[in-house]
Amino acid sequence: MTAKLLVVDDEPRMAELTADLLRRAGYLVDVAGSGSEALERIRSESPDLMVLDYEMPDMEAPEVLDSLSAGGRIPFPVIILTGARHSSGDQVVGLERGATDFVVKGTDRQVVLARVRSALRERASAPAAVTRGRLQVDASRGEARLGDRVLKLERRPLMMLQLLANRSGEVIGRAELLELVWGSSYRGFDHSLEQAVHQIRRELREPGWIETIRGIGYRFVVQP
């Protein structure tokens, strides 16, 4: 089945250039000229992936991401495409708000396509749901439960919980977690990792599930 993509950019020429690139690669592409228009399109039909401009007059990318995640996890990959806003701080903000990737405008077209294919591939090959004792995690569906209680987790804490649970009893280093969950071992994401652990523990409401191995990383331990 052909993937449906949504390109969001307030510059018509840039939007059409990106859309044309993706259409030539075989994707079905719709275009929105603002953040608010993108949200309207998504309410009527959710895309398989969105390419989102960072700076737009009505809403910047983080605001769009916040609106999409208001009801829980963003249900599709979002690649932020940016011109001026490409500092490490801007990337951290975008990725923390739920973006999948961050691409600078002017990047080689084949690299952009490779990022799109990678994000779609990751979505299609998400690991099967994991059950460990009373805990059930299915990151591909944005769901986690402890017994009868639903855990309200954002995308990356949910992915991290599933990864840890899938390798129960194994110590996973911080660098590996950053690479597998955030797609980068950049140390600027250390705070994001710690925040994700805090959110997981807060939602679990029970000690012991996630152990901190000082100076190394974390380990998942099944609790009775």
pLDDT at 69: 81
**Does the structure show a pLDDT above 60 at 185?**
no
pLDDT in tens, 87-125: 777 888 888 888 888 898 888 989 899 889 888 877 766
Note the pTM of the prediction, 2 decimals. Answer: 0.64
Amino acid at 111: V
Under 8 Å between Cβ of 51 and 18: yes
Its CATH class, for the domain covering 4-124, is alpha beta
> How far is it, in rounded angstroms, from Cα 217 to Cα 213?
5
Sign of CA dihedral 68, 71, 73, 76: negative
Starting at the edge strand found earlier in the chain, the sheet holding 4-8 runs: 28-32, 4-8, 49-53, 78-82, 101-104
Percentage with pLDDT > 90 across the chain: 57
**pLDDT score at 85:** 66
Q: State residue 93's pLDDT score.
A: 82
Residues of the chain with CATH 3.40.50.2300: 4-124
**CATH number of this structure's domain 130-220:** 1.10.10.10
User: According to CATH, where is 1.10.10.10 located in the chain?
Assistant: 130-220
Per-residue pLDDT at 221 exceeds 60: yes
- Each residue of 8-49: pLDDT tens digit? 999 999 999 999 999 999 999 999 999 999 999 998 888 999
